[in-house]
A and B are shown apart, each in its own frame.
Chain A
Amino acid sequence: MDKQQDPPSDAQPGDARAVLEAPDIARVLTRIAHEIVERAKGADDVVLLGIPTRGVFLAQRLAAKLEQITERKVPVGSLDITMYRDDLRMHPPRALARTDIPGDGIDGRLVVLVDDVLFSGRTIRAALDALNDIGRPRAVQLAVLVDRGHRELPIRADYVGKNLPTSLRETVKVLLAEEDGRDTVLLGAKRTGQ
């Protein structure tokens, strides 16, 4: 799955270049928020669900921006997809992250899944399966900060911060202040020999 395509320590910040800096990230999130309001016609039934770890922070930021725009509270939560992955047998099991569904649930709502990078599409496939066990949304949409291509499943994002053409030899790394101390998106080369 996409989260596992590249071993974590592959690209050092030193040999990677920033493709989005903090102001860019803030700007694209604002744009996505406006797009959501526009397409969801006011976004009054929107529920944002971030996919851990960084998707959750992005969802929270989006929710804050939506609240600014609509002056209404927007439910936001998290959806851990670990137990639904299709590559579980290829790695040791990992610690689970939190699934936190807002109080009113998702039945009949417009769920916007939020993740940092869209790659193979397998994470989103797992997220759709997980959603299925939680309730029945009116519709499901997908917002991502970066779409780096190389889809392996018929999945596309509804809201994209930046389309970033990459080769499979490259890695994309999203850093967010909440987790990493700063906001940036890095494009680096996979270490050779891996």
Chain B
Amino acid sequence: MSKTLIRGAKVLGGEAQDVLIDGETIAETGTGLSAEGAEVVEADGRVLLPGLVDLHTHLREPGREDSETVLTGTRAAAAGGYTSVFAMANTFPVADTAGVVEQVWRLGKEHGYCDVQPIGAVTVGLEGRKLAELGAMHESAAQVTVFSDDGKCVHDAVIMRRALEYVKAFGGVIAQHAQEPRLTEGAQMNEGVVSAELGLGGWPAVAEESIIARDVLLADHVGSRVHICHLSTAGSVEIVRWAKSRGIDVTAEVTPHHLLLTDELVRTYNPVYKVNPPLRTERDVMALREALADGTIDIVATDHAPHPHEDKDCEWAAAAMGMVGLETALSVVQETMVDTGLLDWAGVAERMSFTPARIGRAEGHGRPVSAGEPANLTLVDTAYRGPVDPAGFASRSRNTPYEGRELPGRVTHTWLRGKATLVDGKLT
């Protein structure tokens, strides 16, 4: 088996040390480790993190291979420092049966850039009416534990209650896309001062907050756990904070773009800023950062949503919602959380690897960087700063809101179970 010695890496941002990978596992950590028989990677003070885990990725395959495939999506994941991604269920066909989730899971295994854990749909066809075969998906080879109708809200209170109850039998979790559908009919952007001026249909914060409030109460009532996808408002933070203080088993995620961008950008009418939930206000952004720092929000998830160029090169109302995120997530988190002093790198590892792996029950991921653990690792040049160039993306799509924006941090190496998927910023 091959050996790799990572020399002089700041593990989780701490003191520089050496990490020896032997085969698929971490053999040894410490200082002055022998390089004998090992390929040496001079970390040179870069930060070594556990491989990142994304609980919210759209890989688009099957059905929209023009925007992303499992191959291109997992390559993008590796380039962004991820070793495990959870693939959302809103494909064509919808991942609402054991057959579809197994197909996605196999594709991920074959390509070998990043583990792919399929998320199953909560309801048949994401239609919100009839529970999908949650148990069958769990028992399939894909061993689905996270279920979500993401893109659509499980808005019917009874269906949501049943789903929460049902997955208790096998430790599953419902990841809710919190969006009250009636309050968001025709919604194009955050409802507020900017939408009033631009004449774009408003997506009010209360449409998210009311669903979150309902669902934490439902989770409490039935004694299940619930996960909130892409939480985006200051009000949602308050509700989750309250729920956690009551001991309700709720976890929440925030996307990188909601940590950085605001609805002021919509004034450009450039659909690259069109996303669901929409970009909110500066006040929301600050509340989300604070909540991520204090643990009210548990994790960062990308909501990586690739779209072909033509779906964004048009008028706002006609454009698709979503942004790619896998290849810029860590940089945005460094910009908004680390460089602002809100989080240290151990905190980042917690929120981008340990906790998402725990919520999604991703075996072998989100483990400490210590001897005997699977060698899922990512090495980050945190001193780097430069403009985002979508032309260099591994993703098939280029719909990033950060084009040309200067961001810190660059992932230089990623190892998936000891095998390098990214070396010196280049995919293997």
A and B touch in the complex (CB under 8 A): no
